[in-house]
Structure 1
Amino acid sequence: MAVALFRDSAPGEFQAVLMDIQMPELNGLDAAREIRAMDRPDAGSLPIIAMTANSFQEDVDAAMKAGMNGFVTKPVDADYLYQVLHQAVKRR
């Protein structure tokens, strides 16, 4: 669903994506890869933040390798989420 929403949106419509890693049909890693591979001007620069209950280093590494810009564990610490979003949007 995230991939379709982004695909069907106008370039620049989304400021960032909070992507759950464990989704039922298409996991968040594959969804991020699909977004990054799209032929549109914002596909490479849109901040994508991984959100997951898994907090091992290999989970962080997999998210970064899939093209994500940040990693937030659940339960979500709102202050930390805002920091990660701020940094990702600022780098954009």
Structure 2
Amino acid sequence: LLVDLQMPVMDGYAATARIRELEGGLSSKASENSGSACRVPIIALTAHAMASDEQKCKGVGMDAYLTKPLNLEELTKTM
């Protein structure tokens, strides 16, 4: 899932936190039912190029951080 950090209604940080929260609930239910829940890979795609932004992305559960303009080779390698 590619998320921009600046989106209308809910930014990428909040969206990622919510997804991870929902996944936590699914993991609990999967454990109860002896199944397995999957984790959605989330990649930040942003014009923000500060180290603190990347750390914040990782802190809310994003798996990778890419800056705009998007480099297709880098995106492919990240995925």
Q: TM-score range with shorter-chain normalisation?
A: 0.7 to 0.9
Unaligned stretches of 5+ residues in structure 1: 1-16, 86-92
TM-score by length of 1: 0.70
Aligned partners of 2:9 and 2:40: how far apart in 1? Answer: 22
Residues 18-69 of structure 1: per-residue CA shift (max 9 Å, x gap):
1111001100001000000012222xx2110000000100010010001000
Any idea what SS the aligned residue of 1:54 has? coil
Structure 1 runs (4+) greater than 6 angstroms displaced: none
Q: How does 1:1-92 map to 2 (within 5 A)?
A: 17-38=1-22, 39-40=25-26, 41-42=37-38, 45-85=39-79
Give 1 or 2: higher helix fraction: 2
- The two structures, once aligned, show a CA RMSD in angstroms of 0.7
Secondary structure (helix, strand or coil) at the match of 2:61 reads coil
Structure with larger Rg: 2
Higher relative contact order, structure no. (Cα contacts within 8 Å, ≥ 6 residues apart): 2
Code of the residue aligned with 1:30 in structure 2: it is A
- How many pairs align? 67
TM-score between both structures, scaled by the size of structure 2: 0.81
Partner SS state of residue 64, structure 1: helix
